[in-house]
Amino acid sequence: MSLDPTDRRILHHLQREGDVSLDVLAEEINLSRNATWRRIKQMEKAGIIAQRVALLDPEKLGLRLTVFILIRTDQHTKAWGEAFARATRGMDEIQGVYRMTGDLDYLVRAQVEDVRAYDRLYQRLIAEVAISDVSASFVMERIKETTALPVL
């Protein structure tokens, strides 16, 4: 499915306010309610709109510490990769896992209460898979964080 400027405006609005009413959205993009609904349904069917979620404030939930975990492994087998993926997918504190190029093998982003909670997460992770080197960086200040993609 190719996106026209109207589709992109719909996506732009939905990324910033996912619970906007269909009537308000249609008015914002200057399209009828039914045409707006059809376009949204087409983008959902095509997988462009993957899902709709509520974004929560981690601090208000007591999850004050964002940690980036840098992982290097000396095992690059399919079995190890599957075990690592299974382990990290099963840990709710982990929000993102990325296989990287360069010196670093994996970058993991987690949201935890504090350093003790990070250590518990670390202990669970190394109990599940063998890792040759782990280091962590703790976020001191969030300067920008968004889930919105540049669609306009």
Question: Where is 41: in which H helix or E strand?
Answer: helix 33-45
CATH for 59-138 (3.40.50.12780, 3.30.70.920, 1.10.3720.10, 3.40.50.2300): 3.30.70.920
Q: How many CB atoms lie within 10 A of CB 112?
A: 22
For residues 108 and 36, is the Cβ–Cβ distance under 8 A?
no
Hey, which CATH number is domain 5-45, 3.90.1150.10, 1.10.530.10, 3.40.50.150, 1.10.10.10? 1.10.10.10
Residue-level pLDDT at 89: 98
Q: pLDDT digit string (tens) for 50-101?
A: 999 999 999 999 999 999 999 999 999 999 999 999 999 999 999 999 999 9
What pLDDT, on a 0 to 100 scale, did the predictor assign at position 76? 92
In this predicted model, what pLDDT tens digit does every residue of 19-58 receive, in sequence order? 999 999 999 999 999 999 999 999 999 999 999 999 999 9
Quickly state the pLDDT bin for 107 (edges 50, 70, 90).
very high
Helices (H), the chain: 5-16, 22-29, 33-45, 78-89, 115-128
With CA atoms as reference, report the closest residue to 68 among 123, 125, 109, 119: 109
Q: Are 71 and 110 in contact (CB under 8 A)?
A: no
pLDDT of residue 73: 95
Question: How confident is the model at residue 90, as a pLDDT?
Answer: 97
Q: Judge if 5-45 and 59-138 fold alike in CATH terms.
A: no
* Residue extents of the structural domains in the chain: 5-45, 59-138
Supply the pTM of this predicted model: 0.87
**Spatial contact of 100 and 106, defined as CB atoms under 8 Å apart:** yes
